Amino acid sequence: MGKVQKYKVAFTGGGTGGHIFPLVSIIRELKEIVPEESLEIYYIGPKDKHSKEQMEKEAGKVRYIYTGKLRRYSGIKTKIQNFVDIFFRVPLGFVQSFFYLYIFSPDLVFGKGGHGSLPVILTAKIFQIPIILHESDIVAGATNQFLQKFSSETFVSFPQTEKINVKKLFVVGNPIRREVLNGNREKAKEIFNLKGEKPVILILGGSQGSERINDLFLSSSTGFLEYFSVLHQCGEANYKQVFAESNATIKEELRKDYQVVPFLNGEQLAHAYALADIVVSRAGSSSIFEIAATGNAGVFLPLPEAAQDHQAKNAYAYSATGAAVVFEEENLSPHFFLEKIKELFSPIEQVKIMEKNAKIFARPRAGYVIAAYIKEYLTRNE
């Protein structure tokens, strides 16, 4: 009996949940199509809440490295942070990446972008390890813009993706966790204790929540709850404040139509999507593709400070399909926001049209497509 061929794949990326969750999707799909005894999976990247919670479950071996980024805003604190990152953290990250890649000797490195992937991808190039990238946003991030010259292929989420070499570009969508497609509306009503007949608005603010979206809702919460039930993910750091403020401002007879939670894990989020009639969200690529895959109408409030204004560009590209509407924060008042949400339900149920268009746009098999490509790439010379 011959020795079993081992395929070793190192994944990298990080900085936000938007980098980690797509990697989780790809890793899970890869485990489905490559026998366990033939596959070794590593994660090398920065340590944060999402990489610790997710990668330590999914990857066979996890190694954390120091990373840093160049902050473009002003102030003495920023200058000190940039100095420490550029002259200490980033060089140390390169040393760590060199050591880990030398020890692991992977057959392929897959990079998701973000400052966390830079030292790993550059070190992989030094070792002449094949590199594949994925870019989530419609405007490629600065790291992937630089690193794409070293990759054999760069998968992208949007057909109109900017600043990626078209000769290396493959449109697959943004990988999503399969579990978010398995929600149940009736179970969700029990979990979140929202059992009324009003349409349900799910408010998200990205993996960390959004203070400004929280404030926008709370400023018009009474008006919202007269027409809708609201499930509100406010972010762990904001939970105590939002809980206290909502208790103080929401009328007692309307509280049955409101639930606030700090964070929704994968299973909870799946049920929340199943329950929602509209999802209000920032416009990160992961959020857009999850909302599309679950067939929900989307209302997007792009983060104005997002690098290269990529969230606004993501949102407008998606809204052009008829699956979502976009509001920019600058001119958005609580009353205007509420009235526009109400308009989506009358007189022609625009929400239903948006749901159909979301399903047309969705690419729920993106994780599988990338995993299948990785498998083919690893086995092509057998």
Flag whether 2 is in a domain: no
Task: Give the start-end residues of each E strand in 61-147.
Answer: 61-64, 108-111, 131-135
Q: Is the pLDDT of residue 209 over 90?
A: no
Tell me the per-residue pLDDT of 117-138, one tens digit each, with 9 for 90 and over: 999 999 999 999 999 999 999 9
pLDDT at site 37: 93
Residue 376, pLDDT score? 95
pLDDT, one tens digit per residue, over 225-273 is 999 999 999 988 899 999 999 999 999 999 999 999 999 988 999 999 9
Per-residue confidence (pLDDT) for residue 2, from 0 to 100: 56
The answer to whether residues 42 and 137 belong to one domain is yes
65 located within any domain: yes
Listed residue (167, 170, 171, 148) closest to 158, CA to CA? 171
Instruction: Please tell me whether residues 373 and 353 are part of one structural domain.
Output: no
pLDDT at 220: 92
Which position has the higher pLDDT, 79 or 287?
A: 287
Residues 67 and 204 in one domain: no
Residue 380: what pLDDT? 83
The answer to whether position 216 is within a domain reads yes
Tell me which residue of 173, 167, 110, 104 sits closest to 138, measured CA to CA. Answer: 173
Q: Which residues contact 335 (CB under 8 A, 6 or more apart)?
A: 220, 223
Report if residue 1 sits inside a domain.
no
Q: Which residues on neighbouring strands pair with residue 362, listed in sequence order?
A: none
Considering the chain, what percentage of its residues have pLDDT values greater than 90?
76
Q: Are residues 233 and 298 in the same domain?
A: yes
My answer on whether 334 and 266 are in the same domain is yes
Beta bridge partners, 259, equal 231
Q: Which residue has the tokens 């103080």?
A: 248
Instruction: Based on the fold, state whether residues 341 and 369 are members of the same structural domain.
Output: no
Rg from Cα positions in the chain: 22
List, for residues 271-310, the tens digit of each pLDDT value: 999 999 999 999 999 999 999 999 999 999 999 988 889 9
Residue 90 lies in a domain: yes
b/e map 342-376, b = 16+ CB within 10 Å? eebbeeeeebeebbebbeebbbbbbbbbbbbbbbe
> Between these two residues, 199 and 208, which has the higher pLDDT value?
199
The HSE-up count of residue 207 (CA atoms within 13 Å, CB side) is 18
For residue 256, is it within any domain?
Answer: yes
Q: What is the CATH number of the domain that holds 338?
A: 3.40.50.2000
- What 3-state class would DSSP assign to 324? strand
Shared domain check, 113 and 43: yes
374 and 297 inside one domain: no
Residue 246, domain member (yes or no) = yes
Cα 118 to Cα 141: distance, rounded to the nearest angstrom: 12
Residues 333-377 pLDDT 10s = 999 999 999 999 987 689 999 999 999 999 999 999 999 999 999
Confidence band (pLDDT; 50, 70, 90) for 1? very low
Q: Is the pLDDT of residue 14 over 90?
A: no
Q: Compute the mean pLDDT over every residue in the chain, rounded to the nearest whole number.
A: 92
Residue 284 sits in which domain range? 179-361
Length of the chain as a residue count: 382
Looking at per-residue confidence, does 285 or 79 come out higher?
A: 285
Do 295 and 153 share a structural domain?
Answer: no
* Average pLDDT for 179-194: 93
Percent of the chain residues past pLDDT 70, beyond the cut: 96
The reply to whether 188 falls in a domain is yes
Tokens of 163: 């600043």
Ramachandran area for residue 308 (φ above 0: left; ψ -120 to 50: alpha; else beta): left
Please enumerate in sequence order all residues whose Cβ is within 8 A of that of 36, keeping only pairs 6 or more positions apart, or say none.
none
The number of beta carbons lying within 10 Å of the beta carbon of residue 4 is 8
Angstrom CA distances, 369 to 77, 81, 266, stand at 43, 39, 21
What pTM does this model have? 0.91
Please count the structural domains in the chain: 2
Q: Cβ contacts of residue 182 below 8 Å, gap of 6+?
A: 270
Q: 180: which 2 tokens?
A: 């978010």
Do residues 17 and 112 share a domain? Answer: yes
Same domain, 160 and 309: no
DSSP helix/strand/coil, 136: coil
Do 355 and 206 sit in the same domain of this protein?
yes
